[in-house]
Every structure is written in C-alpha cells, then in structure tokens.
Structure 1
C-alpha cells in the first residue's frame, strides 16, 4: 500500500464497511474520496486525524505507511535529541510531500491552540 488512499481503503475493508458508509460517518464527500483515489488530492490534516482516530491507527501508518518502531519509555536520557538539541531520530530523509505535511500539521496545531486560547490576532 503506497498511498494514503490505499491504506484508507484497506481499513474500510478490514472493518467490513462500504465506502459510502465510511464517507457518511466521517462526513466525507464522494468527490473527495474520488480525488484521493486518483491521487488528485489527499485528506487534510484534520480529516487525517479523524480517520486515524476512527480506525484506531497511528498517523505515521496512515500517512507514511510506517509502523511505530516501539514504545519509548522515560529514562531520563535525551533519546530524542542530540547534543545540539535537535530532533535526531529520523533515519530516512523525508520526502518533500512529507515535509510539507508536517509543516501543515504544525500550522494546524498552532491554530487549534490559538482557537482554544481565544487568540485570533495571528490570523
């Protein structure tokens, strides 16, 4: 499964749902589903979060097709950060699409935080 759509389709089949039932439950138009299938577009950040929660799968798997390497446990060590304090746990270079998704996700989470705090001065 190389695309987000293929993984979504797989999850739909695994749950024994029809695409129509899935679309109705998550308020997704058939046009959007068709665009995802053709690779014309992909689900937005908020919809990916909803889909991952609906099927109880990780965003890593849904977006990238990667399984979690395992659970990290607190040990007091700097297991995520190198000496200069930057994230240093990625073994493969991210694709441009993956980098763009991460940027979009960060912007979305910042928006949600501002919305929750009632701060709309950045819009």
Structure 2
C-alpha cells in the first residue's frame, strides 16, 4: 500500500471528496493525480500538514505502521550540561538534501511540541 493509498483511505474516512481535500490543504488535483500514479510523492512539509490534518502519525502515513511503542524516555539532563554538538562538522558530512530533511524534521518536532503544549 502506498502513501497515496493511505491518504485516500483518510479522505474517505473523513467523508470528504478528493476535491475538498485538495482545497483544504492547498494541493492541486494534478499533484494528487501524480501521487496516485506514483509520478511524485508529497513533500515533507505537505506530509506534515496531512498527518496533522487527519491526526495520524507520520510513521503510519509513510509506512502504514505505527512506531514501536517501546521507547526509552530519559530526562533532558541525563547526559550532562556539557554535551555540545558541533553542527558545522555534522552538516559538512551530509548532502544538501540530508541537511534540508533534518531542518524540516526539526521544524516538525517543534510544531508537534507546540501542539502538545496547546493541548495541556
């Protein structure tokens, strides 16, 4: 099952038409058609918008599976206050596309944190 197939399921579950979905999320019907044919896939930002709109995880939207619920939760200070990352060295070892992906992921993490804080 593809990302498009999961999006189509979400659209139907919400009782929307594909046109309504496109209008609400600012997607052209041509782009939606390209996703269906496998000609292209949604951008990272668009996937974030879609997952937030339907209140589903990105894991499910991308893979059809939820993340493994077994996680290690550590306190923020468990590694000490002196832990520092030299982002210049890290980004020097990445492709420009990987840097953009990390930036988009950090933006998504901030967005989710804001949403969680608004809910509390």
Output the TM-score relative to the length of structure 2: 0.63
Partner of 1:30: 29
Secondary structure in 1 matching 2:59: helix
Q: Against the structure 1 CA distance between its residues 71 and 109, is the aligned structure 2 distance closer, same or farther, given a 3 Å change threshold?
A: same
Partner of 1:56: 55
Task: Map residues 83-94 of structure 1 onto 2, 5 A cutoff.
Answer: none
The total of aligned residue pairs comes to: 87
- Greater helix content: 2
Q: Against the structure 1 CA distance between its residues 66 and 47, is the aligned structure 2 distance closer, same or farther, given a 3 Å change threshold?
A: same
Distance 1:73 1:60 in 2: 18
Q: Give the C-alpha shift of residue 67 in structure 1.
A: 1.5
Q: Against the structure 1 CA distance between its residues 104 and 6, is the aligned structure 2 distance closer, same or farther, given a 3 Å change threshold?
A: farther
Query: Over aligned residue pairs, what C-alpha RMSD do you find?
Result: 2.6
Distance 1:110 1:11 in 2: 25
Partner of 1:106: 102
Output the TM-score relative to the length of structure 1: 0.61
Q: Against the structure 1 CA distance between its residues 71 and 43, is the aligned structure 2 distance closer, same or farther, given a 3 Å change threshold?
A: same
Q: Is the 8 A contact 1:45 1:104 kept in 2?
A: no
Q: Give the C-alpha shift of residue 64 in structure 1.
A: 1.3
> Gaps (5+ residues) in structure 1?
77-100, 113-123
